Every structure is written in C-alpha cells, then in structure tokens.
Amino acid sequence: MFNYQSSNSLSRRFFYFSKNLLLLLIPNYFFRKRLYAILNQTLDKESELRAAYYFKYNNKIDLSKDAKNLNEIFINQLKKNKQNSHFIDFYNLIRFFNPKYKFDYIYNASNYIDSAIAKKKSVFPIFVKSRAIDGNKNSILLQVNKVKLFHFINDKIKFESKKNIAVWRGDARNNKIRSFFLEKYSNVQKFDIGQTNGNKSIPYYKSFLSINDQLENKFIFCLEGKCISTNLFWAMSSNSICVMPKPKYESWFMEGKLIGDFHFIEVENDFSNAEEKINYFIKHPEKCLQILNNAHKFVEQFKNERKEKLIQLSILKRYLQLSGQYNE
C-alpha cells in the first residue's frame, strides 16, 4: 500500500516507482478478472456524491479523433521514454477494462488549462488531473500523480507549540501570482517566504525548507502554480493551517469544496489582508483549532485506498457506458 505518512520525497518516489514497475509486469488479464468483484461493491452516499462531482457530464459521449485505447496509451508513453506518475496512475485504472476501449485524456494539467480545448469548454469529456473550478462540466477528474499530490503526513508538533510564522517555499518562475506575492510581502515580519528555484542571485531567494522544517510554523501559504497548489494536500493533514486565496483550480482533492475560514484561512487574491488575518488568528487560537479539526475531517475521506479505487472505476465504467463502449 502507498505510504501516506512518509515525508521523505525521495523514499516515497522510490517506493512508488518500484512498486508500479513491478505491477506493469502483471498481465492485464488479472486486473480485468478483478473488475467485477470490485464494481459489485456498493458505493456509500458520500462516495456517490463524490463520483458525481468528479464526473458532471450526463449526456451521450462522442469520442474525439485523439481518443486512445490501452495499448496505444502504453506505446505513446514508451515513445516519450520517461517515467510519468500521471501515466502510471491512469494506466493502472484503465487496464481493469477491455483493452479495446478508448479514452480521451491529457496528463499535463497546465497544458490542458491553457489549451484551446479548455478555452472552448471542450465539446467532449476528457480525463484530467486538474480543472478550473468554474465551467468544468466536460473535465473528468481522476486521482493521478498520487506520489506527488496525495501525500498525507503525521504531524507530531501541536499547533500551540509552533512558531507564530507563516511560511512558503516554492518555484515562482513564470508565475505572476507567486512573483507578486514575493515582491509585495517578503519583508513582512511574520512571513518567512521565498523561492528556492535557481541560484542565490535570483530575487527573493531563500534556502530550501523541508516539510518537517515548515511544520515548525503555525501557518503555511498554499499558492496555486500553473494550476493547483501542490502543498495543500500535506499541509491540510498537518497541525499547521493553510493560508490562501479562494482556489481557482481543483483536482481529485475537491478544492472547490473547501470553505474559507472553515477549512483554511482565506485571504484576498492580492494578499492585501494576509498579515491582518494572520495576526487575528494568532490572537484567537481556539478558532485555529476549529479550522484544523475541519481540515483533518476533510482530508480523512481520501485515505481509504480501496474506496478511492472503487470511485474511480465507477467513473470509468460510466464514461464507457455513455460513450457506447461498455456492454459487459
């Protein structure tokens, strides 16, 4: 089983790729043989609602000319000649089905969000890692890139014992929001923020901080990059509080369901009230503990690996039914 508790990125990736390279050696027949037993399980009400949230399309599906079957997807990835957790997670789901079935998909979420397909609201449903929260009916979410995103931790430091600091480390290259944030607020006393990409000569450079280092602070900024905020997953499972504007993009984590000042501390899009809100919550630790409790409850729903697989296979089955392919 994937180790959600490990905070060591290298060990997590090694375990993940080692495990999945071995899984690729197992004939697809054995996956297909298990499908019926899995799908015979009943989705509980919460899981049904989640499946409907991820897959909002209800009409007949016409596949695009770019739709590919299992073998075409595998060969296409071999031509790229590189490891890709998006491919591995997607492939390990669709191999439960008939290899002739076709899927429309795109791995690179930032390319999808910027693409003509997304801007035209896509005339056909397509599987993606992330999507815009608004106007996303044709974007179907699956839990891909798990090794990077779905990394939940066991934070042993109590909130009360942490420093009254809001921390952020990340890549600000070619990102207007993050660059603006650093330019405007890097000198705020209670903010320990900086970019770690490149060398020490770049603007607003600060030394790398591990997850454990960041967890010494009460507040963690979670800033969207080209799409979702990738530190949001582990941060919300910790005993530190996420601080961010209302998210614009969402993934399997259902960022669109998060409520400001209930699951996280919500700040303005230009961060103009961030310092004020941090100071307010420092003075009201009881409100912080309420937010932490709500965040932990939200995270808990993603930790049952069997349930997550069942939801995804149910989504894929419905997609195949609506596209006129599934007749088993």
User: Could you count the other beta carbons within 10 Å of the beta carbon of residue 138?
Assistant: 20
The predicted pLDDT at position 120 comes to 46
Q: Which domains does the chain have, with CATH numbers?
A: 9-148+304-322 (no CATH), 159-300 (3.40.50.11660)
DSSP letter (8 states) at residue 250: E
The count of other CB atoms within 10 Å of the CB of residue 111 is 13
Neighbouring residues of 260: CB distance < 8 A, sequence distance ≥ 6: 246, 266
At CA 91, angle to CA 89 and CA 93, rounded to 5? 75
104-144: pLDDT as tens digits: 998 655 544 555 444 444 568 999 999 999 878 889 999 99
Q: Which of 155-159, 169-173, 306-310, 318-322 has the lowest mean pLDDT?
A: 169-173
Positive or negative: CA dihedral 175, 178, 184, 187: negative
Instruction: Band the pLDDT of 227: cuts 50, 70, 90.
Output: confident
| Res 122: pLDDT | 54
Beta bridge partners of 141: 128
What is the token pair recorded at 147?
């090794």
pLDDT band at 2 (very low <50, low <70, confident <90, very high): very low
Residues recorded for the chain: 328
Cβ atoms of residues 46 and 301 within 8 Å: yes
Q: What is the DSSP letter of 273?
A: T
Q: Which two tokens stand for residue 177?
A: 């929001």
Model confidence over 28-85: pLDDT tens digits? 999 999 999 999 999 999 999 999 999 999 999 999 999 999 999 989 888 775 668 8
